[in-house]
Amino acid sequence: MPPWRLYFTYVSITIGSSFVFGYHTGVINAPLSVGFQNMMRIFSKLIQNFTQKVIDERRYTCGSSCVRVILSICVTGFVIGGLFGGLFGGVLANRLGRRKTLFLLSIPTILGSVLIMVSVCLRSFEAIIFGRFIVGLSAGAYTVVTPTYLSEIAPVKSRGAAGVMNQFVTVLAILLSQALGLSQVMGTDKFWPFLLGLCAPVCLLHVILMMFCPESPSYLYLVKGDKDAAKHALLLLRGKNYDVFMELDSFQRDPEYNTKHYFGMGNLFRVQHLRWGLFVALIPHFGQQLSGINGVLYYSVSLFESVGLTNRDASFVNLGVGAVIVLGTIMSICVIDRGGRRMLLLVGFSVCLVSLITFTTVLSVQKFSNTSWLPYISILVIYLFVSGFSFGPGI
């Protein structure tokens, strides 16, 4: 049985990386809906101050539609930051190491969270946008560094479970953010800045815990060429009685770790079998991002309100979305080794397709019918959609 240090490292890594990604994915829903009127008043005043000359020249009035555009930018700022963060995450991990990269990424995470918390005091919606953007930079890089770090410190037999932990903590964070976003908890005009900035203390805890975690042994051995440091890291992660030399030798024998098998980006397009592998890898990722899951997670409260629920009821129903995602992830863990990755993807995407078609049909019918049970069908279909995603594409 692996020593406690290995599990401690698992938790330390994911609590400040996977958690940040999941929390900011789900947390924006409640403030967008609950605090809309207050945000509209603040944002309208700020826009008039900053763009008074343009407003006078064009006789422009900043109404609710203008504010909704700003709120949409607050949402997408996290995604745009994640796009850029994902591009440099691997570069940082190879140059600085997995552990130091996580330390470095904690800086924009904490800074962005603090900016969001003080945005009301500053009377600045730009602070929210910029804060979400730089947190997104870290979150995008986390999606590269965290799975790599987890897989490299895990024993071969439990490498799959270690990889799933990244997704599991992510969906747990989504569920927590939705629970805290309820109007009975922190989804209020007074507490929503603290709700959005909660990742600051969590990330600070992550930094403290990571001080007691070792660097990736394979990184130390293959990239840094420090065999003694790699041996020490393995002893911490595997136990004092573990035969570290056998695993060190496997780094060179296993093509997955052998540096001779690393290829540049250009080879992915020039070499035929690599080009096909790239195609196979990209298709599920494109399908995942184009499935509509981000729209459901970011605007789920508004989505439930559109089918006839009150804001209070929509917030509680939205909590079920996070719970369904967690259950779907647990189900996929139970069957992934038996059914295989391809089966999970096919089943998951099929469920998503049927759910979206059904939801669109129900919304269309609801416009011409006052049937009382149609909103409940819409809720069930949304739950079915997120369960299909978490069961297959989301894992």
Distance CA 195, CA 191 (A): 6
Of the two residues 358 and 177, the one the predictor is more confident about is 358
pLDDT digits (tens, 9 = 90+) for 280-338: 888 888 888 888 888 887 777 778 888 888 877 887 887 888 889 888 888 877 777 67
- The answer to whether 147 and 89 are in contact (CB under 8 A) is no
pLDDT score, position 330: 83
Give pLDDT, residue 29.
59
Is 247 part of any domain? no
Does residue 57 sit in the same domain as residue 199? yes
Give residue 46's pLDDT: 42
Residue 177 belongs to domain with CATH number: 1.20.1250.20
Judge if 178 and 298 occupy the same domain. no
pLDDT at 65: 67
pLDDT above 70 for 225: yes
348 in Cβ contact with 386 (< 8 Å): no
How high does pLDDT run on average in the chain? 81
pLDDT score of 118 more than 60:
yes
pLDDT at 49: 45
DSSP for 69-91 reads HHHHHHHHHHHHHHHHHHHHHHH
Instruction: List, for residues 121-163, the tens digit of each pLDDT value.
Output: 777 777 888 998 999 999 999 999 999 999 889 887 777 677 7
For residues 53-83, one letter each, b for 16 or more C-beta atoms within 10 angstroms of the residue's C-beta and e for the rest, the string is eeeeeeeeebeeeebeebbebbbbbbbbbbe
Q: Look up residue 203 and give its two tokens.
A: 């990330």
Is residue 241 domain-resident?
no
In a domain, 249, yes or no: no
**Cβ atoms 303, 362 nearer than 8 A:** no
Residues 161 and 279 in one domain: no
Q: Which of residues 167, 187, 213 is at a domain's end?
A: 213
- Separation of alpha carbons 231 and 140, rounded Å: 31
User: Is the pLDDT reported for residue 210 higher than 80?
Assistant: yes
Question: Tens digits of per-residue pLDDT, 15-71?
Answer: 989 999 989 887 775 565 554 444 444 444 444 444 344 444 555 566 666 666 776
Are 206 and 296 in the same domain? Answer: no
Token pair for 66: 């203008």
Dump pLDDT digits (tens) for 363-395: 888 877 777 788 889 899 999 999 999 888 877
Cβ distance 351 to 384 under 8 Å? Answer: yes
Domain span at residue 319 reads 268-395
Which of the four pLDDT bands, split at 50, 70 and 90, describes residue 358? very high
| Structural domain count, the chain | 2
pLDDT category at 2 given cuts 50, 70, 90 is low
Residue 236 lies in a domain: no
The residue length of the chain stands at: 395
Q: What mean pLDDT do residues 68-86 have?
A: 83
27 and 164 assigned to the same domain? yes
pLDDT for residue 30: 56
pLDDT for position 54: 43
How much is the pTM? 0.77
Nearest by Cα to 328 from 180, 174, 171, 166: 171
Handedness of CA 177, 179, 180, 186 (dihedral sign): positive
**pLDDT reported for residue 113:** 92
The verdict on 192 and 288 lying in the same domain is no
CB 318 within 8 A of CB 304: yes
Residue 229 lies in a domain: no
Mean pLDDT of the region 82-103? 92
Both 184 and 284 in a single domain? Answer: no
Same-domain check for residues 3 and 122: yes
Where are the alpha helices (H) located in 211-310, listed in sequence order? 217-218, 227-238, 244-253, 265-270, 272-289, 293-298, 300-306
State residue 61's pLDDT score. 62
Instruction: Verify that 197 and 281 share a domain, yes or no.
Output: no
Q: Which of 195, 213, 231 is the last residue of a domain?
A: 213
